[in-house]
Structure 1
Amino acid sequence: MTTIRKVAPVALAAALALGVTSCAESDRSDEGGGSGDGGTFTFGAAGAPEMFDPFYATDGETFRVTRQMFQGLLGIKPGTATVQPELATEWSADEAGTTWTFQLRDDVTFHDGEPFNADAVCYNFDRMFDQNEAGQVAGEYWGYVMGSFSNDPEGSLYKSCEATGEFEATIEITRATSGFPTMLTLDSLSMQSPKALEEGDANGIAAEGEGFSFPDYAFAPVGTGAFKFGEYDEANGTITLERNDDYWGDPAKTSELVFRVIPDESTRRQELEAGSINGYDLPNPADWSGLEDDGNEVVIRDPFNIFYVGLTPENNPALKDLKVRQALYHAIDREQLVQSQLPEGAAVATQFMPEAVKGWNADLAAYDYNPDEAKQLLADAGQEDLTIDFAYPTEVSRPYMPDPQALYEAIRANLEDVGVTVNVKTASWNGGYLDNVTAGKYDAYLLGWTGDYDSADNFIGTFFGNLNSNDFGTKAYPWGAQLSQDLKDADAIVDEDERAARYEELNQQIMEDYLPGLAISHSPPALVVGPGVSGLTQSPLTAEQFDTVEVGGE
């Protein structure tokens, strides 16, 4: 069985403090026991997964499913963005920060009964590193965090993995970085059964048309998680996962986990009201109160995202002028946007990362809404008649962008008020919009980012550190290469406080001297569960685990 997917843009970098040693026990085994009374938890998904091999996945709807089946060496503590042990119980680094030793759990088996051990860890890393040409394009997360694959070892962060004991794996990287080992929490770097990978020809991916054809393994995945793959009924848009009764931690509270693909948000609400699903993600903020009045629980996540207007100066040379970019920023009434279009708890952004991330600069003030200043700046730049192709996505709701069209229309009206001519461009999220952003086809566009974990580099390093990305067009500016290098240098600072101070300086430079894009807001996204559902812990990373969820009576 094969399927095709189009290439979607993913910009991933990684970071957190480079600790010399980290050791703790997972919280999983301390949160109660027992498998509950079984039953089924049915979740309304906004989109269909591309396939089920997390290494090639790039979108949230795929990861929502795969993270229930797979685990990494490191995990994220539920309800936080904090790293905790998962399949590794402790880890340590040498003084150079390039040789990392992981002590592994000795009580884990894959869903196919194969043992999890150091040999399995190294098989996985070597498998991810050794990709064919199509796999190197599809395995975007590895490319962003590791730099390159086995055909370019000099450009790679990953060097080698050795089983230095049955339950001890030693991983060598080529340089110190704040991103390692935190990047091992990424769903794409999850551990998979070597036997199943080999038998399913997991690396047999091929380019086909504008996308890829995937091997059989991508539709029969084998991990170590609390749920295992059951069935994908593509025609009816349902994915069924079954409880893993041999799970090393507390068994899942339900015997079955079902995802029903329901693209329209209002239809998801109707299905919840009818009782045919037990929950869904990203309810419209205008519906929160009504949902709660009907006996549902609206679970509000902490804001850990950024909504922005991206700019492509290669497409429109006028955007290369800082005065023009400043004019666009002053033209947008962001305070009114937050109050009228976003849920309670949303805030105007002063920089391209949320306040919770270390390196956030508390001294930066928000650009004020000043139409007169915007008009003057356009005049000073000789751009009183500026025209831009400005795009927004359809058929999507994102944590930072609950209603793309409504947000777009508000920003468009602001820009037209200062004399900017806006050519409206639009496409469906997975039907061309993301591809067009990657290809640099829009002068300006709406997009955003939810952090993968607590890391300045995961935000501004992702946005402005990659000169090969069309996002923000950093390469088009004379300072682009210097900013990219400055971000790389900041990432390599070992001392956490020193690194945070450097990121604060860079945030100030980005907002005051460079302004590659327009940071708009941070928003607290929600999900909703129906009556009788308990045990769901929100994730600021929108990376909820469903093994603790129980479904009972009202």
Structure 2
Amino acid sequence: MLSITRPELKHISRGVTMLQTRVAGRRRIALIGLAGALAVSMSACAESERDSGGEGQTGGQLVFGAAGAPSNFDPFYASDGETFRVTRQIYEGLVGLKPGTSDIKPELATDWDPSEDGKTWTFTLKEGVQFHDGTPFNAEAVCANFERWYNQTGAGATAALSYYWIENFGGFKGDGKPSLYESCTAENETTVKLQLSRFTARFPTMLSQSSFAIQSPTAMEKYQADNVKAQGDSFVFSEYAIENPTGTGPFTFVSYDEANGAIELARNEEYHGEKAKLDKLIFRVIDDETARKQALEAGDIDGYDLPAPADWDSLEEAGFDLMIRKPFNILYLGITQKNNPALQDLKVRQALAHAIDRETLVSSVLPEGAQPANLFYPETVDGYAQDAVNYEYDPAKAKQLLAESGHENANVELWWPTQVTRPYMPNPQGIFGAIQEDLEAAGFTVTPVSKPWAGGYLDQVEVADAQLFLLGWTGDYNSPDNFIGTFFGNPDNQFWTQGSPWGEELARQLEEADSTVDDAERNAKYAEINRKLKAEYLPAIPISHSPPALVVAPEVKGLVASPLTQEEFAPVSVSG
């Protein structure tokens, strides 16, 4: 998930008192009329169609606490997890992800077949599918989506709105920039031929990302989906993106009560697969983590994402179901070299790496299951180099390197974000404090800088104002290019490689690796890039991989935690 703007489990009953609290909490919501949809009482839920098995019940509603408001409901114009959490229930892509894994599965396409050179892909589509507005899903609809993406202009063709297209496909029609996409042809109702400009190891896995969900061409035309305009630092979206999102997924869009922060979805009764068990799915925006915890305890919501690790034990002791995802992320200490001559010296960057006690940081600050990181992605991703240099914690070595570089007591600014927790960074202040202490013990002079995550921190990191900074990434899919290609693949846009003598060389190496057809040869190239990243370049310092959690009430059944934080709510039910 976008590192600069964004975007990872168990007890039984809590007893009569807790259940009474939940009922009371739900009645309070009904009385104040939160978002209208929340007025459905517990007694109404009990009257919904159910079976006696608990796990397989149907009916009722689930209220999930969201950490932020969606930007809009057109996934192509989004890059944040809170938007995708909602749109993932409304739309589907050609390919999806197997629940609980990072492996792709058929979704709207039943199978796909590449040409020998990997440039032409033939997709066979699922039959008998229709969009929520009744428009048939077919090959023409798929090509209409690809052509819509490729033909973006104006505000729609900017990285702020079309981030995932630019990162995965490149340029747009007529902008003079190279594009991976060449054409889409509807061979017949159920066969699509996609022509690419080159082979990429990321295809078709990258189509599992939420931005490439297939949308109704009829609805997009009727409600002017591409009518998006910049307005100051934000955007004004179309009637389609705000009120009429139309996909093929198991839930349909009902309403967004922005004043009360509630998004209501309903079961798609015409769904082509197994229908959702819930009558209604409601996302309630609660931007404060403590407030989300209190809402869960009061029974006002049924679950929320990213509970603070310090709360894990107490949530489990209270009977809630804590679901801990496998780590598929990276926290790193970024290094902006251009504004601090000391940081341009490899020996100083190596001193930073030796100065940080990652083992102690992980064991004392991060949740159980976190692991120190040596490379910029987990070991489960292809091209991992086990033999890459590992900078062991050695403050004496750090001091020696500083002396050799001529930068004893090097002055560095260490930036950390406030008003945020991330899957890879659940305790920013604690992580910052541990690193500051380590750096000062190794001879660095540290100037702390803290800014709100969305109130200056990200913006100033991106324009290279921050010298040392905490940032990270949760993978979008299982590919080395999705990690190190995203970080270092464009030296013009990467604040940590700007002006470096090796930035363009690294970008070329990454493109060459991604374009290599043979799996073994490609993985060998990525392994060599990983070795160089640690030994020769060191543009940042990998710190840790953390297991993010989500928490739900014990009445919630069927939710499968995703290592990519891409949960699906169609199989979920809530017992009475």
Which TM-score bucket, shorter chain as reference? Answer: over 0.9
Matches within 5 A, 1:207-226: 207-219=230-242, 220-226=244-250
Count of aligned positions:
526
| Distance in 2 between residues matched to 1:389 and 1:236, nearest whole Å | 40
* Equivalent residue letter for 2:224: D
Q: Which moved more, 1:47-56 or 1:363-372?
A: 363-372
Whether 2:355 is the aligned partner of 1:331: answer yes
Does residue 1:197 correspond to 2:224, yes or no? no
Cα deviation digits, residues 340-375 of structure 1 (max 9, x gap): 111111111111110111111122353111111112
Give 1:135's aligned amino acid: G
- State the shift of 1:510 in Å: 0.6
Q: More displaced, 382-391 or 322-331?
A: 382-391
Q: Which has the larger radius of gyration?
A: 2
The residue that corresponds to 2:24 in the other structure is none
| Structure 1 partner of 2:344 | 320
CA distance in 1, matches of 2:370, 2:185: 46
Of 409, 421, 428, the residue aligned with 2:452 is 428
1:424 Cα shift? 2.2
The answer to whether the aligner puts 1:106 opposite 2:116 as a matched pair is no
Q: Which residue of 2 aligns with 1:552?
A: 575
Cα distance in 2 for residues equivalent to 1:476 and 1:154: 22
DSSP-derived class of the 2:497 partner: helix
Structure 2 counterpart of 1:455 = 479
- Secondary structure of the residue that 2:200 maps to in structure 1? coil
Q: Which runs of 4+ in 1 moved over 4 A?
A: none
Normalized against structure 2, the TM-score is what?
0.89
Match of 2:443 in 1: 419
**What secondary structure, in the 3-state scheme, does the structure 2 residue paired with 1:299 have?**
strand
Asked if the contact 2:319–2:554 (Cα under 8 Å) also holds between the matched residues in 1, the reply is yes
Cα distance per residue 1:503-549 (max 9 Å; x no partner): 11111111111111010001111111112111011111111111111
The reply on whether 1:262 has 2:286 as its aligned counterpart is yes
Q: Work out whether residues 10 and 141 of structure 1, in 8 Å CA contact, stay in contact via their aligned partners in 2.
A: no
1:475 is paired with a residue whose SS is coil
1:133 CA drift (Å): 2.4
Residue 123 (1) aligns with residue 144 (2): yes
**Structure 1 stretches lacking a partner, 5+ long:** 1-6, 13-31
Say which SS state the counterpart of residue 110 (structure 2) adopts. Answer: strand
2:372 aligns to what? 348
| Unmatched segments (≥5 aa) in structure 2 | 8-52
TM-superposed deviation, 1:93: 1.3
Q: In structure 2, what is the equivalent of residue 185 of structure 1?
A: 208
Tell me, yes or no, if the aligned pair for 2:487 and 2:494 is still in contact at 8 Å. Answer: no
State the Cα distance separating 1:11 from its structure 2 match.
10
Of the three residues 281, 288, 304, the one matched with 1:280 is 304
1:167 alignment partner, one of 190, 203, 226: 190
Q: Does 1:512 align with 2:565?
A: no
1:134 pairs, out of 155, 179, 185, with 155
Deviation at 1:402, TM superposition (A): 0.5
1:470 aligns with 2:494: yes
Q: 1:410, 1:456 → 2: CA distance?
A: 29
State how far apart, in whole Å, the 2-side matches of 1:432 and 1:204 are: 29
Per the alignment, residue 27 of structure 1 pairs with none
**Per-residue CA shift, 1:72-99, capped at 9, x if unaligned?**
1011111110011000001111112111
CA gap 1:253/1:11 in 2 versus in 1, 3 angstroms: closer
Shift of 1:429: 2.1
The normalised TM-score by structure 1 is 0.92
Residues 398, 124 of structure 1: alpha-carbon distance in 2 compared, 3 angstrom cutoff: same
Is residue 48 from structure 1 mapped to residue 72 from structure 2 by the alignment?
no
2:331 aligns with: 307
Asked if 1:494 is matched to 2:478, the reply is no
Task: Tell me how far 1:35 sits from its aligned partner.
Answer: 8.2
Does 1:361 pair with 2:420?
no
Question: For the structure 1 residues 11 and 175, does the alpha-carbon distance in structure 2 shift closer, same or farther, using more than 3 Å as the test?
Answer: farther
Which position in structure 2 is the counterpart of 1:386? 410
Q: What secondary structure does 2:207 align onto?
A: helix
Aligned to 1:536: 559
Q: Is the 8 A contact 1:391 1:445 kept in 2?
A: yes
RMSD: 1.8
Indicate the SS of the match to 1:474. Answer: coil
> Which of 84, 90, 102 is matched with 1:81 structurally?
102
- Displacement of 1:8 in angstroms is 8.6
- C-alpha deviation, 1:210, in angstroms: 1.9
| Conserved? CA contact 2:265–2:280, under 8 Å | yes
Cα pair distance change 1:56/1:268, threshold 3 Å: same
**SS of 1:506 mapped into structure 2:** helix
- Other structure's SS at 1:309 match: strand
Indicate the SS of the match to 2:193.
Answer: strand
Offset from partner CA, 1:220-253 (integer Å, 9 cap, x none): 2111111111111111111111111111111111
The partner residue of 2:172 within 139, 149, 152 is 149
CA distance in 1, matches of 2:115, 2:409: 59
Q: Which of 63, 71, 75 is matched with 2:92 structurally?
A: 71
The CA distance in 2 between the partners of 1:303 and 1:319, in whole Å, is 30
SS in 2 for 1:391: strand
1:408 and 2:432 correspond: yes
- Secondary structure in 1 matching 2:291: helix
SS of the residue corresponding to residue 531 of structure 2 reads: helix
- Larger displacement relative to structure 2 (485-494 or 474-483): 474-483
Secondary structure at the aligned position of 2:72 is classed as coil
The structural deviation recorded for 1:417 is 2.1
The separation in 2 between residues aligned to 1:400 and 1:154, in whole angstroms, is 33
Give SS of 2:508's match.
Answer: helix
How far the C-alpha of 1:315 sits from its partner, in A, is 2.4
Map residues 362-377 of structure 1 onto 2, 5 A cutoff.
362-364=386-388, 366-377=390-401
8 Å CA contact 1:534, 1:551 repeated in 2? yes
Name 2:36's counterpart in structure 1: none
**Which residue identity does 2:194 align to in structure 1?**
I
Letter in 1 for 2:277: K
On the 8 A contact 1:330/1:374 being kept in 2, the answer is: yes
Matched residue SS, 2:90: coil
The residue type equivalent to 1:403 in the other structure is N
CA contact (8 A) 2:262 2:282 kept: yes
Calculate percent identity across the aligned residue pairs: 53
Q: In structure 2, do the counterparts of structure 1 residues 8 and 295 end up closer, same or farther at CA, with 3 Å as the change threshold?
A: closer
The separation in 2 between residues aligned to 1:431 and 1:231, in whole angstroms, is 29
2:423 is aligned, of 399, 402, 405, to: 399
Secondary structure at the residue paired with 1:202?
Answer: coil
What is the CA–CA distance in structure 2 between the aligned matches of 1:11 and 1:155, rounded to whole Å? 26
Deviation at 1:158, TM superposition (A): 0.3
Is residue 481 from structure 1 mapped to residue 504 from structure 2 by the alignment?
A: yes
Secondary structure of the corresponding residue to residue 290 of structure 1: helix
Aligned 8 A contact 1:474 1:480 in 2: yes
Deviations 1:254-311 (A, max 9, x none): 1111111111212111111111111111111122121111111111111111000111
- Rounded to whole Å, the distance in 1 between the matches of 2:144 and 2:533 is 41
